[in-house]
Amino acid sequence: MEDEVLLKQVITKAQSWLTKDYDEETRKQVQALLDKEDKTDLIESFYKDLEFGTGGLRGIMGAGTNRMNRYTVGAATQGLANYLKKEFSALPQIKVVIGHDCRNNSRKFAEVAAAIFSANGIKAYLFPDLRPTPEVSYAIRKLGCQSGIILTASHNPKEYNGYKAYWDDGAQVVAPHDRNIIAEVNQITAVSEIKFKGNPKLIEILGKEIDQLFIDDLLSITLSPDAIKRNSDIKIVYTPIHGTGGQLIPQALEKMGFTNIIHVPEQDVVSGDFPTVVSPNPEEPAALKMAIDKAMETGADLVMASDPDADRVGAAIRDDQGNFVLVNGNQTLLIYFHYLISRRKELGRIQGNEYIVKTIVSSELIKSIAKKNRVELYDCYTGFKWIATVIRENEGKKQYIGGGEESYGFLAEDFVRDKDAVSGCMLLAEIAAWAKDNGKTLYRLLQDIYVDYGFSKEKGISVVKYGKTGAEEIEAMMKSYREHPISEIAGSKVILIKDFVKLTAQDLIEDEVFTLDMPTTSNVLQYFTEDNTKVSIRPSGTEPKIKFYIEVQSNVDSAEALPLAEAEAEKKIEAVRAALGI
């Protein structure tokens, strides 16, 4: 009965998209969905409306209220425009920046958004072509805009697109703005309320000048220019994986002084179909295979890859035997933080008011680095808008060193307020030069970090659950974990449970409950055990999956002890997986 009611609601909703308010192509797509005997695709396309998640819209492209198309993008843009006009009514001219990545329909959606903003009397700065997400954040601040958007689905499969909204500080929208924008979007009940006919006078195409300003500002944060000069010939293979990074990253590395940037020609081709990879995700080993092959062929020292919107970096480095090993997101964070703090100390630039930021699911080893070097550490939720919030709250009071998350995102500068693969690649190349200046490889540098601060190994496991039934399964899993708390994991007693929905932590040793100091609630559970194992569980805010983050730790007294520590950690992680049933 419930399914029959849902199907009737969906059919009624779909039929409303057959009117002349919608273009012919959309009407044909909807009619085809209605005509199919199997109604699964129809239901998935219309059973709900796309909503702003951790930073905007994200969904599969196609016709329907639960799909990315000119009408869902149009409603989101109209809602955002309505809200901007209320929030900044005193300004003579409201301004926004619009960017897009390489994905199919991204340029079309960007132009639709520009037309809608301009039709609402809002000046729209539109990039002439695809550009990295962090450059949009930069341009919002540089041009004094009140908002901005980028059309991107980050590293999702090619069927997806997305819409990320930013506020006047260059950060993704947070409360109350995100809720208020959703409220404005929900008030749009007819396509006729969306102003699609733009005002060309209020649309300005940005020139190359903003690219150069961005790169020049990134160059200003370099800490080791002399080391780069002495090691300018380091061979670096870089791939944008068909995305926006190719627009700026090679040129930024060359302006730094690196003279041996090696391309992967097949992946320099801009394409929303991502023809050389199954997934354009630098977290996936397969996404870096062609770049590693090129590095082996050319004798390169370092491999770097950015995702389609160039806000995340994946890397591979040579081990002591000359083989390439992938560096995961947590390891990259360790390298970044260690370098930024160590190098600042060498330069006498640690004054006592510095801080770093990580997300709660990132490695606990970062706490050891911060503590040992007397640098303040902030722990925040997953999603770079929370790191940006910490930066905003500390602006003018404390010195930001860097912030990052285990999912390959890092931000080394505070004049951008989203993760940045442009500066991330520049920084990693700089660290390679600095390490070489000190007689080390990046691999040896990472080993030294483990000896100095402790060894940790992490494993991220995603359980994918598609569609409406999948969302219900994920909800049921989180409910079960809360109603039946885990007391032991792989033979080690749980001593601390953090529930970020309730904003409480339960200390099982002292039998105490205390409040978690966080800006809002989040659907995350964390378990800490006697043997320093940490397990975090959370549904993804942007993808149909529930994520498990496992971290195990141990101490090593030399690099020679690391292989055994690695083997023991692998066994422990497998035991944890078995205990969790994943």
User: What is the CATH classification number for the domain harbouring 500?
Assistant: 3.30.310
Q: What are phi and psi of 95, to 5 degrees?
A: -130, 145
What does the CA dihedral 518, 520, 521, 527 come to, rounded to 10 degrees?
-10
Give me the pLDDT at residue 471, please: 85
Give me the pLDDT at residue 542, please: 64
Q: pLDDT by residue (tens digit) across 118-127?
A: 999 999 999 9
Do 198 and 233 fall within a single domain?
A: no
Q: Is 154 a catalytic residue?
A: yes
Whether the pLDDT of residue 52 is over 70: the answer is no
E-strand ranges in 225-274 read 236-239, 261-263
Whether the pLDDT of residue 12 is over 80: the answer is yes
Do 335 and 436 fall within a single domain?
A: yes
| Length of the chain measured in residues | 582
507 pairs with which residues across the strands?
A: 496, 512
Angle between helices 24-35 and 2-15 (to 10 degrees): 150
- Mean pLDDT value of segment 98-127: 98
Q: pLDDT by residue (tens digit) across 371-384?
A: 999 999 999 998 89
- Which one of 403, 426, 453 terminates a domain? 453
Do 355 and 438 fall within a single domain?
A: yes
Give me the pLDDT at residue 135, please: 98
Rounded CA gap, 113 and 81, in Å? 10
Q: pLDDT by residue (tens digit) across 472-519?
A: 889 999 999 999 999 999 999 999 999 999 999 999 999 999 999 999
Rounded CA gap, 549 and 283, in Å? 14
The residue behind tokens 């569980």 is 537
**Is residue 365 within 8 Å of residue 451, measured between CB atoms?**
no
**Is residue 90 within 8 Å of residue 141, measured between CB atoms?**
no
**Is residue 243 within 8 Å of residue 275, measured between CB atoms?**
no
Q: Which amino acid belongs to residue 393?
A: E
- Mean pLDDT value of segment 151-178: 94
Per-residue 3-state assignment (H helix, E strand, C coil) for 392-441: HHHCCCCEEEEEEECCCEEECCCCCCCCCHHHHHHHHHHHHHHHHHCCCC
Give me the pLDDT at residue 461, please: 92
Give me the pLDDT at residue 55, please: 65
Rounded CA gap, 53 and 196, in Å? 24
Whether the pLDDT of residue 318 is over 60: the answer is yes
Rounded CA gap, 554 and 557, in Å? 10
237 pairs with which residues across the strands?
A: 262, 303
Nearest residue to 301 via CA among 429, 421, 423, 408: 429
Nearest residue to 43 via CA among 78, 80, 2, 103: 2
Nearest residue to 360 via CA among 554, 154, 549: 549
**Is residue 406 within 8 Å of residue 458, measured between CB atoms?**
yes
Q: pLDDT by residue (tens digit) across 389-445?
A: 999 999 999 999 999 999 999 999 999 999 999 999 999 999 999 999 999 999 999
Q: Percentage of the chain with pLDDT > 70?
A: 98
Tokens describing residue 10? 């969906």
Give me the pLDDT at residue 186, please: 85
Nearest residue to 115 via CA among 77, 82, 85: 77
**Is residue 494 within 8 Å of residue 577, measured between CB atoms?**
no
Give me the pLDDT at residue 424, please: 98
Q: How many CA atoms lie within 13 A of 20 on its CB side?
A: 0
Do 295 and 442 fall within a single domain?
A: yes
- Mean pLDDT value of segment 129-135: 97
Do 474 and 385 fall within a single domain?
A: no
Whether the pLDDT of residue 101 is over 80: the answer is yes
Find the CATH number of the domain harbouring 64: 3.40.120.10
What does the CA dihedral 189, 191, 197, 199 come to, rounded to 10 degrees?
20
Q: Which amino acid belongs to residue 472?
A: E
Do 429 and 333 fall within a single domain?
A: yes
Do 409 and 387 fall within a single domain?
A: yes
Domain count, the chain: 4
Whether the pLDDT of residue 2 is over 80: the answer is no
- Which one of 425, 453, 481 terminates a domain? 453
Q: pLDDT by residue (tens digit) across 431-465?
A: 999 999 999 999 999 999 999 999 999 999 998 88
Q: What are phi and psi of 151, to 5 degrees?
A: -90, 110
Do 543 and 526 fall within a single domain?
A: yes
535 pairs with which residues across the strands?
A: 527, 550
Q: What are phi and psi of 389, to 5 degrees?
A: -65, -45
What does the CA dihedral 139, 145, 147, 149 come to, rounded to 10 degrees?
-30
Q: What is the residue-averaged pLDDT of the chain?
A: 95
Q: Percentage of the chain with pLDDT > 90?
A: 90
Do 467 and 349 fall within a single domain?
A: no
Out of 147, 154, 492, 554, pick the active-site residue.
154
Give me the pLDDT at residue 211, please: 98
* Those residues with Cβ within 8 angstroms of residue 439's Cβ, 6 or more apart along the chain or in another chain: none
Poorest-confidence range of 139-143, 330-334, 472-476? 472-476
The residue behind tokens 């911060």 is 370
Tokens describing residue 66? 């639960």
Give me the pLDDT at residue 470, please: 85
* Those residues with Cβ within 8 angstroms of residue 156's Cβ, 6 or more apart along the chain or in another chain: 58, 162, 542, 543
- Which one of 453, 469, 503 terminates a domain? 453
Range of the domain at 472: 455-580
Q: Which amino acid belongs to residue 374?
A: R
Do 462 and 449 fall within a single domain?
A: no
**Is residue 516 within 8 Å of residue 524, measured between CB atoms?**
no
Q: Which amino acid belongs to residue 250?
A: P
**Torsion-angle region of residue 521: left (phi > 0), alpha (psi -120 to 50) or beta?**
beta
Does residue 225 sit in helix, strand or coil? helix
Do 74 and 192 fall within a single domain?
A: yes
Q: Is 487 exposed, middle or buried (0-12, 13-18, 19+ CB in 10 A)?
A: exposed
Q: Is 510 exposed, middle or buried (0-12, 13-18, 19+ CB in 10 A)?
A: exposed
Do 217 and 194 fall within a single domain?
A: no
Q: Which amino acid belongs to residue 415?
A: F
Q: What are phi and psi of 10, to 5 degrees?
A: -65, -45
**Order of strands across the sheet that contains 95-100:** 56-60, 160-166, 147-151, 95-100, 123-126, 203-205
**Order of strands across the sheet that contains 313-318:** 261-263, 236-239, 302-306, 313-318, 324-327
